[in-house]
Amino acid sequence: MDSNGHPPKATCQKVLILILFQLGLSAIFFSYTRISVKPDLGNPVPVMLHPPKHLENSLPLDKQSSKLTILLWTWPFGTPFLIKKCSQLLGIPDCYITADRSQYQKADAIIVHHRDVCSSPKRLPQEPRPLLQRWIWFNMESPTTSPNLGLMDNHFNLTMSYRRDSDIFTPYGWMEALSQPQNITIPHKSKLVAWVVSSWKPGTHRVKYYEELKKYLQVDIYGQHHLPLPQGKHLSTLSQYKFYLAFENSIHEDYITEKVWKNAFHAGAVPVVLGPPRKNYELYMPPDSFIHVNDFPSARELAKFLHELDRNTTRYQSYFHWRSWLKPFGEFSWAIHFCKACWALQKKPIQYQTVPELSKWFK
């Protein structure tokens, strides 16, 4: 104590340092506890879809690679493809992505494509899982065409799909904002409505809707058992049409496929969609960029509306106004999907979680 009964300044400083140190330890412990808790799959940590293109150039040369190894347990549908660098595709630090199973023990994560393993649990890795290795369940098919989901329960740490509540969100397409507004050029249209069908199944909802629609509207159908669509002339053929029937083969939340992004938007046609509700589509694209069959009480009324747009050039062109400030991206690429997994693994802390009932979540 000094002459006034107060503790010396040096002692006060030591006490203050000790208190700050204890607070720091508490914060670290609290942060660790939060990271270790299994997150709610319904409220996942957001995954950046489009890392900034300047990111790669802002990194030191020795940081261009994240040093993460990702093993593709199978090539999707058994078809190999060129694995491009993620620094080139998304402007992020590269992961080492390989399909060489000899890298299993070294891999930080394994991506398992559902359709290639769903026939039997024996198709999953059988060796003991290395410490901290994460298994990623990957699927771009709808629940209707995803058999044996129950076999996937309690095996995986992360989900990766077109569903926006996946741990790693990999949609079929998205909108990108343009750096500055641009003038709109609408390709010349000489035909009215097209539809490309790879799987024609009588009795399904979309085929029954078409059967009613064709009573009032001419629809040109391409695909097996229909008009031929030569390889390499996909977009040039569809770009001749004012409208494209983007009818999904099954209706599920967020299941909005290349039928909209590639066949319609990239071809410069207005998509007429049959799939999840309009509000779901509006999460991904402007409300005036598409026509939803649910907006009409019948196929006859839809046909009437399309004929009206065909006659009214100004009204038809209103479905292209959004293109002055947005650009659709919908070129399907396995490599981009896997690079999104690379980016997510770089951004996410290691989480000790298991997806216990994947079959109930993905429905």
Average pLDDT over residues 101-126: 97
Q: Are residues 163 and 284 in the same domain?
A: no
Using alpha carbons, select from 78, 88, 84, 114 the residue that is nearest to residue 96. Answer: 84
The DSSP secondary structure of 176-220, one letter per residue, reads EE-SS-----PPP--EEEEEEESS--TTSHHHHHHHHHTTTS--E
Per residue in 306-339, pLDDT (tens digit) is: 999 999 999 999 999 999 999 998 777 899 999 9
Q: Are residues 289 and 231 in the same domain?
A: yes
Average pLDDT over residues 3-23: 46
Q: Are residues 347 and 280 in the same domain?
A: no
What is the C-alpha to C-alpha distance for residues 101 and 107, in angstroms, rounded to an integer?
9
> From the CB of residue 83, how many other CB atoms can be counted at a distance below 10 Å?
17
What is the C-alpha to C-alpha distance for residues 135 and 160, in angstroms, rounded to an integer?
10
First to last CA, the chain: 71
Q: Are residues 286 and 152 in the same domain?
A: no
Long-range contacts of 177-183 (CB under 8 A, 24+ apart): 177/325, 177/326, 177/327, 178/324, 178/325, 178/326, 178/327, 181/324, 181/325, 182/323, 182/324, 182/325, 183/324
CATH number of residue 65's parent domain: 3.40.50
Q: Are residues 209 and 124 in the same domain?
A: no
For residue 3, is it within any domain? Answer: no
CATH number of residue 234's parent domain: 3.40.50.11660
Give the DSSP H/E element, type plus range, for residue 136: strand 134-139
Based on the residue annotation, tell me whether 258 is a catalytic residue of this protein: no
Q: Return mean pLDDT, the chain.
A: 85
Task: Report yes or no: 83 and 51 within 8 Å, Cβ to Cβ.
Answer: no
The pLDDT of residue 27 is 41
The pLDDT of residue 332 is 79
Q: Are residues 199 and 266 in the same domain?
A: yes
Hunting for tokens 């989901």 — which residue is that? Answer: 149
For residue 44, is it within any domain? Answer: no
For residue 350, is it within any domain? Answer: yes
The residue that leads in pLDDT, 184 or 116, is 116
Please give the tally of structural domains in the chain: 2
For residue 285, is it within any domain? Answer: yes
For residue 147, is it within any domain? Answer: yes
What is the C-alpha to C-alpha distance for residues 110 and 70, in angstroms, rounded to an integer?
6
Range of the domain at 222: 176-329
Average pLDDT over residues 168-196: 94
Q: Are residues 180 and 321 in the same domain?
A: yes
Q: Are residues 79 and 156 in the same domain?
A: yes
* Burial tier of 223 (Cβ tally within 10 Å: 0-12, 13-18, 19+): middle
For residue 191, is it within any domain? Answer: yes
Asked whether the predicted pLDDT for residue 52 surpasses 60, the reply is: no
Q: Are residues 164 and 184 in the same domain?
A: no
For residue 166, is it within any domain? Answer: yes
Asked whether the predicted pLDDT for residue 12 surpasses 80, the reply is: no
The pLDDT of residue 64 is 58
**List of E strands, 1-130:** 65-72, 94-98, 109-113
For residue 8, is it within any domain? Answer: no
Largest CA distance in the chain: 104
The DSSP secondary structure of 263-328, one letter per residue, reads IIIITT-EEEEESS-HHHHTTTS-TTS-EEGGGSSSHHHHHHHHHHHHH-HHHHHGGGGGGGTEEE
Q: Are residues 165 and 271 in the same domain?
A: no
Q: Choose, from 56, 127, 141, 212, the residue flagged as catalytic.
A: 141
Q: Are residues 307 and 233 in the same domain?
A: yes
Q: Are residues 180 and 324 in the same domain?
A: yes
Asked whether the predicted pLDDT for residue 28 surpasses 80, the reply is: no
Angle at 170 between CA 73 and CA 148, to 5 degrees: 55
Average pLDDT over residues 219-231: 90
Phi/psi at 311 (5° precision)? -85, -20
Average pLDDT over residues 209-228: 94
Q: Which of 43-57, 148-162, 163-177, 232-246 is least confident?
A: 43-57
